[in-house]
Amino acid sequence: MERRYFGTDGIRGRVGDAPITPDFMVRLGYAAGRTLAPEGGLVVLGKDTRISGYMLESALEAGFSAAGVGVRLTGPMPTPAIAYLTRSLRARAGVVISASHNPYDDNGIKFFSAQGDKLSDEEELAIEAALEAPLQTRPSAELGRAARVNDAEGRYLEFCKNTTPEGFHLRGLKLVVDCAHGATYHLAPALFEELGATVETLGVSPDGLNINEGCGATAPEALRARVLETGADLGLAFDGDGDRLIMVDGRGTVRDGDSLLYVLAQHQQREGTLAGGVVGTLMSNLGLEQALQASAIPFARAGVGDRYVLAECQARGWRLGGEGSGHILCLDAHSTGDGMIAALQVLVALRAAEQTLEEALAPMTLCPQVLINVAAERAVLKAPSVVAAVADLEQALGNRGRILLRASGTQPLVRVMVEGLDGDEVQGAATRLADTVRAAAAGGA
């Protein structure tokens, strides 16, 4: 059955355009309630800091209530916090209103199962099928009730701290923490301060419109500048919903998810806690694969998207995986990708090895990799000019590099990735291919 609404990370789009409308959200809440909690029970409902979250929250709440499902409202909370609270509160499902790293005028809905996992394909398709049925409100005595989770923040912070070894602290460490004006704005600074770090903040003044704007994991330039300006030991950047982590080392070098995976894998290998190997994606840097191989750590590639990384980890019985974008799965600590917990695990690794981040990454050399996003629909991937350009460039690169062309599952973009040994060659190939995609999208052959 072909999906109509769900993409690689829930349902997402521009606010006011179908399906991100109040009337659809009422129907979605009802359909999800009847599918995930047919006998009633509770769902946990959280959101990030977008202004549209208020509207969508009310509509979803109404739909769940009509289906006879109770709602526990958390207010702004990171996506992984909802996964945890769903388990903690013994809810039937968790729901997050967020478009993650997208701009404020997008929004979306993510679901978690009762176990805190992303929904299976079968469950998402079942919700889509239920959307076709008429909404039949339960009798008044059976309607779901809504209530606030007043201790959500404290519960989640304690959960995060409990993923570190007993006695772990960050005293003597100076951090700059960039929360992207998103869902971690009131949590991440508190977490690291409670563990003893001196914390400077960026992106902690959300106004509903500034989420991810020139800050956070997708725009770490401001964080880099602040780290250098203040002489901080490290910078930590989260995205709008808190499931991504990008770091900046003390020298101002931006370190992506591939680099952080290497640090975690090395630590777990030293501690004897590495279960099998590491799962990356088709876009993971070749340098990560080579560095892990040099340490005899197995590496596997999954499709792009944390749900596919998770599925590959589960299939292999491995517990560590992630993406260069900063989605990092530490499945020995949490059931889903969590930026704050990933940051803690990296800090644990650095403290245990008595290394700075740059020292820990010295053995690893990333290959030049260029990623260009082109505004285009998925169909452009089959355009004759694009297919021919890919074939020509692959032949030209030979065994010196690789090309990956894919449609985004969360935005109307085509992502052009070229990786190789020579930076100039990689940049030139990526630029030419992006130009071809752009021309095809504009009506070229």
Positions marked catalytic? 100
Signed CA dihedral, 179, 14, 305, 129: sign only = positive
What is the C-alpha separation between 394 and 385, in angstroms, rounded?
A: 14
Quote the DSSP letter at residue 323: -
Listed residue (267, 312, 340) closest to 81, CA to CA = 340
Signed CA dihedral, 208, 410, 98, 186: sign only = negative
Residue 263: how many CB atoms within 10 A of its CB?
A: 22
Question: Is the separation of the CB atoms in 204 and 326 below 8 Å?
Answer: no
What residues contact 249, with CB distance under 8 A and at least 6 apart? 234, 255, 356, 357, 358, 361
Question: Is the separation of the CB atoms in 296 and 373 below 8 Å?
Answer: no
Question: Is the separation of the CB atoms in 416 and 402 below 8 Å?
Answer: no
Show the tokens assigned to 440: 């095809």
- The verdict on whether omega for the bond into residue 19 sits within 30 degrees of 0, i.e. cis, is yes
Show the tokens assigned to 341: 């917990």
